Amino acid sequence: MKKNSCQSKGFTLIELVIVVAIIAVLSAIAIPAYRQYVLRSNRTSATRALQDMATREENYYFTNNAYTNSTTNLGLTSAVTPDGYYTLSIPSASSTDYTLLATPTPGSPQTQDVKCLNFQLQRNGTETATGTSGSASCWQGH
């Protein structure tokens, strides 16, 4: 039997629409999940930077018998995390106590991290964060 010469090989419009629909559904699930994963992994830079600053504060105290509110006194040339996503500051420091703060750098993707926006570390080891998740889940995995 001879094949009809009018038939062409390829995909029908219905098949293409089904494939596009499947890709759209998978993208709608995968992209937000990936974005949350990236935001969560970027939080690590904030928590590590605050822990490094706490160590530097203790070293400064050992030498000067007081804590400092200056990041330059701690030997930090930049008050930003290495990835540039968080700005580091020392909102309060005294001879006996200090509080360290990491806030998202304006324009960084972390400004949209509503679950864990700002990270705070106090001298007594109290770890807190502002956001919808609360501090416990924000500091996990550091």
As for how many domains the chain has, the answer is 1
Tokens read off for 95 = 């001879």
SS3 call for 71 = coil
Is residue 8, in this structure, part of any structural domain at all? no
- Domain of residue 51: give its range: 13-138
**Dist CA 86 CA 110 (whole Å):** 8
Which of left, alpha, beta for 121 (phi over 0: left; psi -120 to 50: alpha)?
A: beta
pLDDT digits (tens, 9 = 90+) for 94-119: 889 999 999 999 998 898 888 888 99
Is residue 33, in this structure, part of any structural domain at all? yes
Is residue 5, in this structure, part of any structural domain at all? no
Cβ neighbours around 138 below 10 Å, total: 25
pLDDT digits (tens, 9 = 90+) for 1-45: 455 555 667 888 998 999 999 999 988 888 888 888 888 888 888
